[in-house]
Amino acid sequence: MRRERHPIRKLPACRRRVLAMLSALIFAPGLTLADPVGPVTKLPLPRFASLKTDRVNLREGPSKDHATKWVYERAGLPVEITAEFEIWRKVRDSEGVEGWVLHSLLSGRRTALVTPNKKGENSKLYARASASADLAATLQAGVLVNVRNCDGAWCLVDGDGFKGYIEQVKLWGVYPNEKIE
């Protein structure tokens, strides 16, 4: 009796890895729609993180064999992790660009961009979590801030030479109504 070869084994190694990745994402054990978590870390998906270094390659797929789509050159930039595969994390940036990065190039430190898609718009930073509080600073669109805490409506943020409260909806790097302590 002649044994036929499995069709997947005939594919090049990079395509086999992509198929393995897709099946891992689709058939991840314990993954439910009500409680999406990463199959590797068991942390929530999606979630925000930040870039650890000044040079991070964004790749088309989850391996160094895949082409580099983009090179980020800004440590601390917030990204949204949307998927996991082995040591790789699929991320999306504030402009909607998606790709894969090594997990070791990501940090759990929470950062955010002030109204990144509203060029030319300024946002007010207050001394307290209230629009009637004293003005602490005015931040331009695209300013990178460190997120210290959020109550679901306001976030305490700081950066180079400023500290204060900003409306949570004006930040990309935190979810609406998310609480951060």
Same domain, residue pair 162 and 174: yes
Last residue of a domain, one of 51, 79, 109: 109
Structure tokens at 88: 């790789």
Q: Give me the pLDDT at residue 118, please.
A: 84
Same domain, residue pair 92 and 116: no
Domain of residue 141: give its range. 112-180
Same domain, residue pair 77 and 159: no
Last residue of a domain, one of 62, 86, 109: 109
Residue 88 lies in a domain: yes
Structure tokens at 122: 């300024």
Same domain, residue pair 70 and 18: yes
Same domain, residue pair 151 and 131: yes
Structure tokens at 127: 């001394």
Burial tier of 9 (Cβ tally within 10 Å: 0-12, 13-18, 19+): exposed
Residue 3 lies in a domain: no
Same domain, residue pair 105 and 120: no
Same domain, residue pair 124 and 168: yes
Residue 2 lies in a domain: no
Residue 4 lies in a domain: no
pLDDT band at 119 (very low <50, low <70, confident <90, very high): confident
User: How many domains does the chain fold into?
Assistant: 2
pLDDT band at 30 (very low <50, low <70, confident <90, very high): very low
Share of the chain above pLDDT 70, in %: 81
The helix or strand, by DSSP H or E, that contains position 21, with its residue range, turns out to be: helix 13-26
Each residue's pLDDT tens digit, 91-117: 999 999 999 999 999 999 999 999 988
Q: Give me the pLDDT at residue 32, please.
A: 46
Please say whether the beta carbons of 142 and 119 come within 8 A.
yes
Last residue of a domain, one of 64, 85, 109: 109
Residue 156 lies in a domain: yes
Distance CA 181, CA 168 (A): 14
Q: What is the CATH number of the domain that holds 155?
A: 2.30.30.40
Residue 26 lies in a domain: yes
